Structure 1
């Protein structure tokens, strides 16, 4: 009697394939979900920082103090969202009196540029940690929060 070679059965291979496909598909999906949450948190912080900075600037007695208060309010808004260590650029412009924002019926426009770090992504391309840029603008009439002189 000649022995026939035994064929390996495919029992259990589907389970292995499902596990590997699950891992390969879940890891990118997890990164996408975490990144979306981080960007949303940063977007909310940037928007609230622009609003808080505009209000703080309008309530200040002069432009120099307004700039300091606006920056402090913006930093606090980011800290409230748990992302205190972010790059932050604050610009304040005024119309129709660009030299003195706290005069008459000025309209203050506060612009904030920032970015959030994308989680779980190493420095692959050599250009520093991957970041997502965010910006927000808020306009405040000077008389909205204080009495016009």
Structure 2
């Protein structure tokens, strides 16, 4: 009499759970890391707009204000760990006078940047996917100013 042993399914649930865990965990990890990176970029862009608006408003003239606004925005992004991110700073103002620094002027700073999503290999399509970010901040210039 020959005894035939049939192979049972013992232990297969553990293997299936491990594969399912890996297949679900990797995309979830990528999503969480991407959300954190975009949130970091959003904080950085918002801080850059605020810093650029303040730097522009406190500058002695418009040319120096644009230079200071750009430098302040770059520093704010670097503080959030986005020093290498592309940056565009646009300054507009509404003023009754000839200068954006005259009393009653309203300075509006628009900052645009982008963050690259993490862990995406270049073989999937060339450039890494990115998320565009922008922020706007408005600074009113006081009507009464110090006269030198």
Does the residue aligned with 1:116 lie in a helix, a strand or coil? strand
Partner of 2:5: 6
Partner of 1:119: 118
Runs ≥4 residues deviating over 6 A: none
Partner of 1:135: 134
CA displacement at 1:148 relative to structure 2: 6.3
Alpha carbons 2:57, 2:141 under 8 Å: kept:
yes
CA displacement at 1:98 relative to structure 2: 8.5
Q: Distance in 1 between matches of 2:86 and 2:104?
A: 32
2:102 maps to 1:79: no
Residues 28-76 of structure 1 show CA distances to partners (whole Å, capped at 9, x for unaligned) of: 0000110010000000000010000000000000010000100110011
CA RMSD of aligned residues (A): 1.8
2:32 maps to 1:30: no
Runs of at least 5 residues in structure 2 that lack an aligned partner in the other structure:
none
Does the residue aligned with 1:58 lie in a helix, a strand or coil? helix
Alpha carbons 2:106, 2:141 under 8 Å: kept:
yes
Q: Distance in 2 between matches of 1:19 and 1:81?
A: 37
Runs of at least 5 residues in structure 1 that lack an aligned partner in the other structure:
none
TM norm structure 2 = 0.92
Q: Distance in 1 between matches of 2:19 and 2:96?
A: 64
2:58 maps to 1:59: yes
Aligned positions, number:
146
Partner of 1:147: 145
CA displacement at 1:147 relative to structure 2: 2.5
